[in-house]
Structure 1
Amino acid sequence: MMRASLAARILLYFVIVIVISATIVGVGLYQQSSNEVDKQTKDLLTQIVDNAMNHTDMYLKTYDRASLTMLTSSSVKDLLNLDKSDFVSYFLLNRPIKEKVIQPLFINNPAISLVYLIGYNGLSIYEHDVEATEFSQTLLQDNLERLKTITNNDGKLTIMDWSFMDGKLALTRKISDRQTSKIYKGILGIEVNIEELKSLWEGIRLGETGYFYIVNDNGKIVYHPKAEMIGEHLDAQLLTKLKENQNHIFTYKDGVERVHFNRRSDYSGWTLVASMPLDELRAPVLNIRRTTIVTCAIALLIATIVAYRFGQSIIRPIRMLVNGMRRTEKGDWTHVEISGKSNEMDHLIFSYNMMVSRLQELMEQVYAEELKNKEYLLKRQAAEFQALQLQINPHFLYNTLETVVCYAVVQDSPEIKEIVRSLSYMLRYSVRADLEEITVANELKHVMHFMNIMQYRLGHQFEIDVQIPPELLLSKMVRLTLQPLVENSFKHAFPDGIESHHVIRIEAMLDGDDFIVKVMDNGVGIPEERLRELQAKLAAQTQTPLTGRTEREGGIGLANVHSRIQIVFGAAYGLSIANQASGTGTVLTLLMPSHSSRRLPDATIN
C-alpha cells in the first residue's frame, strides 16, 4: 500500500502541476486573446463607421455648399417676394434663374437629378434631368405643406426620408430673402443620385457575413447591402438598442447573435451601423482555445510519461531499501545492490549498507557483552549469597542489645541503658522496609536518639533548634534523610569542637506544591572550591537504584540522600548545598513535593 501510494502521489503531483499550469496559461491566454479581439473589433468597427460617416458628411456638405449659392442670387430673392398674380415678372425671372443659378448646379454636380424652388407665394421653378418626365409644378405645390413640416426650421440642410424621384436622395432647406432673416419664404430642394454614396458604402467589408447599413431617426433604412431592405423600417427593438448604445458595442440576437456598433451623424441625422456575427468575431479566440487545449493535452501526456519514469526511478530503489529493512528486522543482515549510476539514491543505498554493517558489528558486540554481563551477574549473585550467609541476623543484634540493657539495669547504669536503647531504636529504624511512608515526626525522633548518643560522645548537652510548625509534623518524607544531614554538620561544621555558641537548626515549610526541609548551622562553612565540587556531583547524580555504597565511613553520604529522594520523587527534587549569606555556616536543603501534590511509586527499598 505504501509503495503504490508513494508512486501514485508522485504521478498525481506532476499531473496537478501540469494541469494547473496549463489551466492558468490557457485561461490567461484565452482571456487576453478575448480582450484583444474585443478591442480590435471595436477599433475596426469604430474606424469603419467613422470613415463612412466622414465621407458621407463630406459628400452631403458638397450639396449643402452648392445650395448656398442659390441664396445669394437676387433673382431668387425677387421670386420669393413676387406676387402670385404677376405672371409677367414670373416669366421674366424664370429663365435667368434656370440659366444662371440652377443649370450651373447640374454642370458642377453631375449626380443632381432634380432642383426645385417653391415659394410660399405659390410660385415655383424646377429643373430636372431627362429621367423625370412626369414631374410638374402641380406636384410641387401639392407637397408644399408636407415639405414645410419635415424641413428644419433653422435654415440648415434637411435630409428627407422620401423623394419626388424614386431612388434619389432628397435634400431640402428653408430660404428667406435675406441671409440673416429667420422669416422663411420658400423651400429649396435638391435630389441627387445616391449611387455614388452606395459605391462608397458597398466598399465596406466586414467579413463573410458582416454588413454595413444606415438608418435615419425614424428607423427607415437609408442604405442596406440588400436592396430590398432600403426604404423598409428597422426592427423597433433593434432601433431602441441602437439609440441606447450609441458609440458602444453591443450584441443583438435576431436568429443569429450579432455584434453591432453605431454612430449618429449630427450633420445628417443618420445612424451608421456596422454589424458582424459574434461567432465570426470569436473564431480566432476559439482557434486559440482549441490549440491551447490540444497543446495542454499533449504536454499532460508527455508529463505523465516523464512523471511515471521519474517516479519509478525513485520508487524502485526505495522498494529495494524497504525489502532490505524487512529482512534486517528478521535478523537477516541484507545489503542492497547499488545500481552504479552514482546518483543520490546510490549514495543513500551505500549509506544504508554501511549502517547495516555497523549495526551487525554492534549487535555482535552487544551479544558478547551480554554474555559477559550474565556471567558476571551470576558470579556476583553467588558472592552476595555467600556474604548474606555471613551476615549477623538483625534479631540477634536486637536481643543482644536488650541483654546489655538488662545488665545495665542490674548494674544501675542509666547512661549505658540510654545509649543502648537509642542505638537499638536507630538500628530498628534503619532496617525498616518502607522508604517514603515516614513522617517528619519519625525522622525527628530518629534524630533525637542520634543526639542522645552524640551527647555522651561530646560530654555535654547540645540541643538542636527545631522550628517546624505542628501541622507539618505529619508530612511525609523519605526515611533516613534528616539524620545524615545533622551528622554531616557535627562532622564538618565544627572541626575544632562544639562551643556554646554553635547552633544547628531544622526548619520546614511549604512553598506552593513543594515541601522544603532545611538543616542550618553556624559552623565554618564549606570552601568555595569544595562547594562547587559537591554541587556538581549532586547535579550529575543519576536516578539509579540504591546500591548501599557509602560516601564516607560510618554513615550514609549526602549523595546517597540526594539519590534516594530522586528515586522516590523524580529528578526535579533532591538535596542542595549552599553556604549561608552571612558567610558562616552551611544550609542543606531537602526539596520534596507536598503531600497534596505528590504521586509516589509503589516500589520500596528493603
Structure 2
Amino acid sequence: MRRWNDRMLKTKMFISFSIVSLFIVGITCMIFYFTNRDDIKNQTFSLSKIISRQFSEMIDLYMHNIEELSLAISIDPAIQGNLFDFYKASNPIEKETVGFRLNPVLFNFSYPKSYVQSISIYTLDGHLYQYSKIDKPKPPITFTNEELRSFTEVFSSKPFILIPSYKEEAPEEQSANVVSFVRKITKIPTQTIIGFVSTNINVNAFNMILTNTKASEIENSMHVLIISDEGQVIFENGSHLMGSSRSVFDASLFKRSISEGELKWKDTQYLYTFEKSGYTGWNTVILIPKNVILLKQKRIQDIVVIVGMITMLLIAVVSYILSHQIMLPLNNMMRKMSRVELGDFNQRMEYTGKNEIGRLSRMYNLMLDSISRLIHEVYESKLAEKNAQLSALHAQINPHFLFNTLNTMKSISRLRGIEEVAEISESLAGLFQYSMRNLHQPVTLHDEIEHIGNYFKIQQHRFGNRLELHFDIPAELLHASILKLTIQPLVENAVNHGLRRMKAGGSIAVRAFRHGGELTITVTDNGEGINKLKWTHLHDTLEHSNALNHIQDVKHGIGLLNIHQRIQLFYGKQYGLRLYSKPVEGTTVTLVIPFIAVKQGEDEIAQ
C-alpha cells in the first residue's frame, strides 16, 4: 500500500483504468453473446417498421401530388370546353378534331412531370383521347361501358380510383409498368359527370422515393414492396415481375393482427413488417434477409473486440487529459493571485464545481470579497470623518437660533410695514428650516422645488428682473424621491457663475422627465458658459471621481463633485451628474437617478 501511495497520479490512473476497462470489456462480451441475437432482431423489426411507415407516408404524399394534378386536369377550362364540343359533335370527324385540340393541353400537363407516363380522357360513352410520352404507343387498353358505369358508382363515395400496376403496351425498349389514377370530370358549376381522366404513373418513379429514405445501412439487402389487399405486387425494388401473374403475394398476411414476423419469399427466408396506407389502401412491406442479421451480429462482435483494444490504447491519453484538467484551474488561480498581488481585486474564479477545487475557488472569491469590503469600509470611515468635520463647522452657528431670529425679523418688519425685508426673512427662514433636516434623508421633488423657490425669491431682491426661473416638470413626477440639496446647488451655480454678469435676459430652466426606470433632471442657463479648458477639467473630475479623491470645486462655491459622489454612494455608480457647456451659449447640468415614487403621506412622515 505504501508503494502504491508513492506512485505518480498518472500511473495510478493508468493502472486503475486498465483493470476496470478489462473487466467491463469481458463482461460486455459475455452478455452480448447471450442477448445480442434477440436484441438485433428486435432492433431490425423496429427499424423496418420505421422504414415502412416513412415509405408509406412518402407514397401517400406522392399520390397527393398526382391527385392535385388530376384535379387540375379535370377543372381545366380547355378540357371542359373540348368535352362540351365532343358531346355537341354530330359526326366522327368533329370528334377526332376534339382529340387534336386536347393533345397540346394534355402535353402541357404531363411534360413537366417526369413520372407521368400518359394521360387519358374518357367520355361517358367510352370514347378515349390519350397523350403518351411513348414514341409509338400501341393501342391502349380501354375501359368498357360497364367499367365506366361502375366508376360512376364508386365516385359517389370516394374521390378517385387507383388501378394496380400493369405493363403499358409499347415498344419493348420503352415498356414500363404504370399505375392508373382515375378521377371524374364534372361539369362546372352543376357537378354533373361528363367524363373521366386517367393519369398513368410510371412505378419506376417510386425508386426515386426509395433512395431518399434514411435506411442506407440496409438498403443493399432489404426489399421494398407495395402490395394490394388482393396480393398483387404493385411495386418491388429491382424486380421486373410487377403486375405479372407470377408476382403474387400471400394476402392472408395482411389480415393478421401482428404486422411483423418471418416468411419465405422467392426461396429466401426474410423478416418482414408492413404498413397499410389509409389513403391508397396499399400495403408497404419491408423484407430483410435473415442472413443479413447474422452477418450484422458477427460484425458487431468484431467491433466490440476492436473497441476494447482501442480503449486500452486510449487509457494513457485519458489519464493525461484528466490530470491536466485537474491542474488547469489551479494554474488559473495562481495567475489570478499574481494579478491580485499587483492590486487588481476584480480577479474572480469562475470554477463552479462541487469538488475540492470548486470549494477552494469559492474560498478564494470570499477572501477577495472580504478584502474589497474592508477597503470600502476604510473609505466610508474617511468619508464619515469629513462629514463630521463639516458638521463641526455647522455646529459653530446654532441654526435654531438663526431660524428664530429670522422669524422675529419677519414679524417686526411686517408690523412696521417693511414688506420686502419680511419676505427676504421668510424665504431665508425657509432655507434654514429645509437645511436643518437630515441631509441624507431623501425628499420629494416637490420639496426640493419649493426650496429652490425660496432661494430664488432672495436672488430676485438682489438682481431684480435680470433673472427668470422656469420650471417644466410634469405633475406625476413631483412625488419622485430625490436626495436633498442636489438641484438647488445647481441653480445657485447657474446664478453665481453663469448669469451674474448679465444685465438683462438671464434665464434658468429646470426640467424633469422620466425614461423607463430613470428620472432625468436638467438645469440649463443662457449665461456665459464655461471655457473649454475648465469644462474639460470638470468633466474629467466627474468621470474619474473615486472615494479617495473627494475634491470640491472651491472656485465655483458649490461642489459639483460632492453632489455627484453623494448620488453614486446612495444610488450606484451608473447614476450621477453630466456637464455640457459652450462659451457664450450657456451651460446644462444633467442629473440622472432611479425613479422612485413616494406615496402621499410618506414624505410627510419623513419630514
TM over 0.5: no
Q: Tell which structure's C-alpha radius of gyration is larger.
A: 1
Q: Compute the TM-score of the two structures, normalised by the length of structure 2.
A: 0.38
